[in-house]
Amino acid sequence: MTPPRPPKKSETLEVRLPHAAKTAFMDRCHASGLTASEVVRTLIEREVAGPRGRRSRTGWQALAAAIAGVALGAIAVPSIAQALPGSRADFDRMDADRDGVVTFAEFQDR
């Protein structure tokens, strides 16, 4: 017996955010081996499923806080990276295959 197919993903959601926030989010997704769609779908599915345990925020407040956090993080990361001496050299040492992405394995081997 063949298992039932999951429902088609036919709906879209447009979210407006600063370019730096989008870039940081996409980089984070890529580093995690996930697509942006997978991450957003998972977040939405968790929020729709309802609270688990006691939460101090509603689902929509948590979603807004997550988006704001990504935006603020994208703005802060370049400043922090510039403030760290040798941060580019450290990254280059970890990025063994020189593809511009540090995998978890490369991070462990540092």
Judged against a pLDDT cut of 80, whether residue 38 lies above it is answered with yes
CB-count exposure of residue 88 (10 Å: 0-12, 13-18, 19+) = exposed
Q: What mean pLDDT is reported for the chain?
A: 75
Q: CA-to-CA distance for 25 and 15, rounded, in angstroms?
A: 13
pLDDT digits (tens, 9 = 90+) for 88-100: 677 777 778 888 8
- List, in order, residues 6 or more apart from 29 with CB less than 8 Å away: 35, 36, 38, 39
pTM: 0.43
Rounded-to-10 torsion of CA 41, 10, 67, 29: 60
User: CA 73 to CA 25: how far, in whole Å?
Assistant: 9
37-41, 58-62, 66-70, range with greatest mean pLDDT? 37-41
Q: Which two tokens stand for residue 27?
A: 């980089």
Residue 98 zone, left/alpha/beta (φ > 0; ψ -120 to 50; rest): left
